[in-house]
Chain A
Amino acid sequence: MDNEILRMENITKIYPNGVMANKEVNLFVNAGEIHALMGENGAGKSTLMKILFGIEQKDSGKIYFEGKEINTQNAAQTIQLGIGMVHQHFMLVESLRVYENVILGIEPKKGLFTDKESAIQLVKDMAQKYNLNVDPMARVCDISVGVKQKVEILKVLVRGAKLLILDEPTAVLTPQETKELFEQLLLLKQNGHTIIFISHKIKEVRQICDNITVLRGGKYVGTMPVENSTEEEISRFMVGRDVVLKVNKKPAQFGEVLLQLQNVSYTNQENKKMLNNVSFELKRGQILGVAGVEGNGQNELAECIFGFYKNVQGKILLNNEDILQKSINAIRNLGVSYIPEDRIKTGVAKDVTIWENLVSDRIDSKELKQKGLLNHKKIIEMAKSLIKDFAILCKNEQQLAGMLSGGNMQKVVVAREFSSNPELLIANQPTRGIDVGANEFIWKKIVEQRDAGKGILLISADLNEVMELSDSIVVMCDGEVAAYFENSKDITEYDLGLYMLGIKKQTEQERKGA
C-alpha cells in the first residue's frame, strides 16, 4: 500500500529466559490513521512496541518506516526518526515545570541560558494547535494524571513525531478525561499524525480507531478495519484460549457463607475510583473466580479484604464479623491467607532464607517457641516438611529465597499461605509467569483446600485459569461487578469476554437470580 507509514514484518523475539514474546508478528499501519493494537495481557503488545521503539532488539524480522528499513538501537535514535511513545508509566520529572519537562533534552537557547520565553511559547503554541490544555508553568507534581498524559503527548509532538505510540493511555484516566483524550487524538489525526493505540477496551477502540491488529499469545491473529467488524467479532479474536492445563476436581459442595462484601467502594490516591459498590458472597467449599482484564479493580479488591487500605467504604464480613477496620495481623488471625499478585516485592523477602520466608506470618505462634525463645529445631523441621510437601526445588531451607526460580518462589508463598490453615484463601494471580509443573501443582493444592471446606477467592487475568479452576465466577469491569455466574460451566469464554470487555453487563436482578 502506498500510504503505508510503518511496516513490521515477521517480528520474532525470544527473551533470554526462553519466553517467546513475539512469534512472526506483523503490523502494518497506514499514514494518518489511528491503529489499534489489541490483545490480552501477555499477548506481546508491549514487546512489539518496545522493539519498534528501539528499547528491545528483535531476533528476526524487518521494520520499515516511511518506506526505509530501520534498525534503531535506542529510544533517542527512534525519536529522531519521528516516532514517539507515551509510556503507560509517565516519564516525567515531578518537581519540574510542565514546559521544562516538554523541552528537556532539546532546550532552546539564548546565549548560555535556556530561552524560557520561546520554550513556553513553543509549548503554548503546540498546546493550542492540538487543543492540549496545559499550563506550561505548572509543576508536574501538582497536576492531575490526565494533564500529565497531555504533557507526555506534547513532549512527543514537540520532538516532531509523525507516529505516536500510546500504551494503554486510558488505563489511568477517568471517563471524562478519556473523552477529552479522544477528541485530542482525533485532532492529531486530522493534522496528519499517525497513532498506534494500545488497548483492550473494545468500545474505546471502536470509537476512534480505523483498523485493528490483534495479537494473542505472542502471535499475530489478524488485522481488520473497524467499520467491518462487530464488538463480538473483535472479542472472539482477542479472547481465545489454548487449553494447556486441565484440572481434575469433584463437584463442589458449597457450605455456609464465609465472606460477604456489601457495597464496597475504594478510591485510590490519584482520586480514581477503583472499586464501585462491589457486592458478592463466597461460601465454604467454593472457588470463586474473579475474571477481568487487569486493572479493573481486582487487585484493589484483594487488598481491601486483606486490610491494606484505610479509606474503604462499605462492609466486608468474614463469618458475619466486619473486618474492614482490622489490621492485617488481625485479619490473618481470623483465618485469612493471601497470595499476593507481586511475589517479588510482597510475597517473599528475597534477601532472607527460605525458612525465614516460610514463617513470616506465624513467628509469634506458641508452637514455634520454647520458653519465650524461638525453637529453631521445630522451625527448621517445619520448613523442611513444607519444602517437601510443596515440592519446592531448592538446595536446602537455608538458601536465600531470591535464588529460587519464579515457580519455586511462588511455591514458597503458597506453602506459607496454605499451611496456616486458613478459612479464606485469596489467591491473586497465583500462577502468573511460572512453569507448567508448578502451575499444575498449585492448582491441585487449591482444589485440595476447597475440598477441605475452605473458601477460595481466585483472582486471575488468565482466562484459562479462571474457567478451569473456578466453581463460580464474578466478572469485574471498571471497578464494578459486571456479572456473576453461580456455576462456571454456565458461561462460555466468548460470553465471558463480552462482560470483561464491557460490552455486556448484567442487571442487578440478573445477578441475584443467577
Chain B
Amino acid sequence: MINVIFSTDFFFTTIRVMTPILFAALACMIFTKGGIDSIGTEGIMLTCALAAPLGSYITKSAILGVIIAMIIGALLSCLFGYVTISLKSEPVLAGIALNTLASGLTIFVIYYATGEKGSTQSLNSPTVANVQIPLLKEIPILGDIFSGHSVLTYLGILITILLAFLIYKTPTGLRIRSVGENPEAAKSVGISILKYKYISLILAGALCGLGGAYMSMSYVSFFSKEMIAGRGFIGMAAESMGRGTPWGVMLSALLFGAADSLAIRLQLLQLPAQLIQTIPYVITIVAIAIYSYSRSKQKKG
C-alpha cells in the first residue's frame, strides 16, 4: 500500500496541486505584509481564472492570457484597496463582497462569451505548456517528480525566491513591511503609506492572477464555475501557518498539496478520502491555535 501511495506519481501530483495554493498563499503574504486583509484572494483568483482563458482566446496567445489575468487581478485588488482605504468599508465585509461578486460576475461573463453557464470548454483557448527540464528529466525518480510541470509551476517557485529577496533584501520590501505593521512609524520617517499599500495591492493582485491562470490554463484547460473552490482561503491559512515567510508559506502550501494528493490516491484504494481531506484543515487550525497561544503568552510574559 505504501508503494501505491508514495509513488513518483504521488509526488508529481503534490507539486501540481500545490501550485495554485502557493500563488494564493504568496498573494496573502503580500497582502498581510502590507497590512491589508486577504479574504478577497478567493474572489480575485476566480475572476482571473476566467480572465486568463478569455484573454488567451481573444489574443490567441497563452502568454498574453496570463498577463491579462495578472492585470485584472491587480485592478481588482486595487478596487478592494480603494473600497477599504478610501470608502472605509469594513475589510472583511468588502472581501466577502468581492468573493460574491466574482462568483456571480464570472458566470455572467462566460454566459455572454460562450452561451454556456458552466465553463469555457467550448472556446478551446490556448493553454500554458508543460515543460520537460533537460538534464533533470534524465535523472530517475527525481526527473519523474520534478520535470514535466507547467511553466507556471516553475514560475511560482522562482517567484517565491524573488519575493524572498524583495521582502527582506530591498528598500521597497522594508517599507511595505513597515507600512503594514506600524503605519504611524512609517509616516513619521516620511514614507507614503498609500504608495506602499498600493504597491502591495498590485503585487498581490498579480499573484492572484497567476494562481487563477494556472487553474484554467494548466490545471485544466478551461474555466469552470467556482473552480477556485476555497484555494484562496487555504492560501490565507497557509500564510498564517507559514508565519508570513516565503519559505514557510511554500512549505505550508506543499503540505496542503500533499494532503490533497494523498486524498486522490486513497480514493483509488477505496479508503475514506473525505476524512483524509480534512487533515490539512485540522492541522492548520491546530497550528494557528498553538502559534497564537504561544504569542499571546509571550506578550504577557
Q: In the complex they form, do A and B come into direct contact, defined as C-beta atoms under 8 angstroms apart?
A: yes
Binding site for B on A (CB under 8 A): 74-76, 79, 87, 91-96, 100-101, 103-107, 109, 112-114, 116, 155, 159, 269
Assess the A105–B189 pair: CB atoms within 8 A: yes
Binds A, one of B137-145, B166-174, B260-268: B166-174
CA distance A78 to B165 in the complex (A): 33
Q: List, in ascending order, chain B residues with CB within 8 A of A109's CB.
A: 171
Known: A79-B190, A93-B186. A105 touches B175 (CB 8 A): yes
Chain B count of residues within 8 A CB distance of the other chain? 21
Known: A96-B174, A113-B165. A105 touches B191 (CB 8 A): yes
Known: A104-B175, A105-B175, A105-B190. A113 touches B185 (CB 8 A): no
Say which residue of A76, A155, A269 sits within 8 Å of B301 (CB atoms): A269
A to B CB contacts below 8 Å, 21 in the list: A74-B190, A75-B187, A75-B188, A75-B189, A91-B182, A91-B189, A93-B182, A94-B182, A95-B177, A101-B185, A104-B178, A104-B189, A104-B191, A106-B189, A107-B174, A109-B171, A114-B169, A114-B170, A114-B171, A269-B299, A269-B301
Assess the B169–A100 pair: CB atoms within 8 A: no
Assess the B177–A93 pair: CB atoms within 8 A: yes
Binding site for A on B (CB under 8 A): 165, 169-171, 174-175, 177-178, 181-182, 184-191, 299-301
Q: List, in ascending order, chain B residues with CB within 8 A of A75's CB.
A: 187-190
Assess the B185–A93 pair: CB atoms within 8 A: yes
Assess the B170–A112 pair: CB atoms within 8 A: yes
Assess the B181–A95 pair: CB atoms within 8 A: yes
Interface of chain B, helix or strand or loop or mixed? Answer: helix
Q: List, in ascending order, chain B residues with CB within 8 A of A114's CB.
A: 169-171, 174
CB proximity of A142 to chain B, nearest CB, Å: 10
Q: List, in ascending order, chain A residues with CB within 8 A of B182's CB.
A: 91-94
CB proximity of B234 to chain A, nearest CB, Å: 24
CA distance A96 to B187 in the complex (A): 16
CA distance A113 to B189 in the complex (A): 20
Assess the B184–A91 pair: CB atoms within 8 A: yes
- Pick the 6 closest A-B CB pairs, nearest first: A76-B190, A107-B171, A105-B189, A91-B185, A91-B188, A93-B178
Q: List, in ascending order, chain B residues with CB within 8 A of A269's CB.
A: 299-301
Say which residue of A96, A112, A159 sits within 8 Å of B178 (CB atoms): A96
CA distance A365 to B177 in the complex (A): 49
Assess the A116–B190 pair: CB atoms within 8 A: no
CA distance A96 to B177 in the complex (A): 8
CA distance A104 to B300 in the complex (A): 28
Given A103-B174, A105-B175, 18 other A-B residues pairs in contact with their CB atoms under 8 A: A75-B189, A76-B190, A79-B189, A87-B188, A91-B185, A91-B188, A91-B189, A93-B177, A96-B178, A104-B174, A104-B178, A104-B185, A104-B191, A105-B186, A105-B189, A105-B190, A114-B170, A269-B299
CB proximity of B25 to chain A, nearest CB, Å: 19
Q: List, in ascending order, chain A residues with CB within 8 A of B178's CB.
A: 93, 96, 104
Q: List, in ascending order, chain B residues with CB within 8 A of A159's CB.
A: 189
- Closest B residue to A100 by beta carbon equals B174
CB proximity of A16 to chain B, nearest CB, Å: 21
Q: List, in ascending order, chain B residues with CB within 8 A of A116's CB.
A: 169
Q: List, in ascending order, chain A residues with CB within 8 A of B185's CB.
A: 91-93, 101, 104
**Residue of B182, B186, B299, B300 contacting most chain A CB atoms (<10 Å):** B182
- Closest B residue to A55 by beta carbon equals B188
**Residue of A93, A107, A109, A269 contacting most chain B CB atoms (<10 Å):** A93
CA distance A354 to B199 in the complex (A): 44
Assess the A94–B181 pair: CB atoms within 8 A: yes
CA distance A87 to B184 in the complex (A): 11
CB proximity of A120 to chain B, nearest CB, Å: 13
- Closest A residue to B187 by beta carbon equals A75
CA distance A93 to B185 in the complex (A): 7
CA distance A169 to B300 in the complex (A): 24
CA distance A155 to B174 in the complex (A): 15
Known: A94-B182, A96-B178, A104-B178. A113 touches B191 (CB 8 A): no
CB proximity of A143 to chain B, nearest CB, Å: 13
CA distance A185 to B51 in the complex (A): 61
CB proximity of A167 to chain B, nearest CB, Å: 13
CA distance A303 to B175 in the complex (A): 39
CB proximity of A422 to chain B, nearest CB, Å: 31
Q: List, in ascending order, chain A residues with CB within 8 A of B174's CB.
A: 96, 100, 103-104, 107, 114
Q: List, in ascending order, chain A residues with CB within 8 A of B301's CB.
A: 269
Known: A95-B177, A96-B174. A113 touches B169 (CB 8 A): yes
CB proximity of A184 to chain B, nearest CB, Å: 21
Q: List, in ascending order, chain A residues with CB within 8 A of B177's CB.
A: 93, 95-96
**Residue of A87, A91, A269 contacting most chain B CB atoms (<10 Å):** A91
CA distance A109 to B184 in the complex (A): 24
CA distance A222 to B94 in the complex (A): 55
CA distance A479 to B177 in the complex (A): 38
CB proximity of A104 to chain B, nearest CB, Å: 5
- Closest A residue to B174 by beta carbon equals A100
Q: List, in ascending order, chain B residues with CB within 8 A of A107's CB.
A: 171, 174
CA distance A408 to B290 in the complex (A): 45
CB proximity of A430 to chain B, nearest CB, Å: 30
Q: List, in ascending order, chain B residues with CB within 8 A of A74's CB.
A: 190
CA distance A113 to B172 in the complex (A): 9
CB proximity of A106 to chain B, nearest CB, Å: 8
CA distance A95 to B244 in the complex (A): 12
CA distance A103 to B190 in the complex (A): 12
Q: List, in ascending order, chain A residues with CB within 8 A of B165's CB.
A: 113
Assess the A93–B171 pair: CB atoms within 8 A: no
CB proximity of B192 to chain A, nearest CB, Å: 10
Q: List, in ascending order, chain A residues with CB within 8 A of B184's CB.
A: 91
**Residue of A95, A116, A269 contacting most chain B CB atoms (<10 Å):** A95
Q: List, in ascending order, chain A residues with CB within 8 A of B186's CB.
A: 93, 104-105
- Closest B residue to A103 by beta carbon equals B174
CB proximity of A108 to chain B, nearest CB, Å: 9
Assess the B189–A93 pair: CB atoms within 8 A: no
CA distance A238 to B34 in the complex (A): 45
- Closest B residue to A111 by beta carbon equals B170
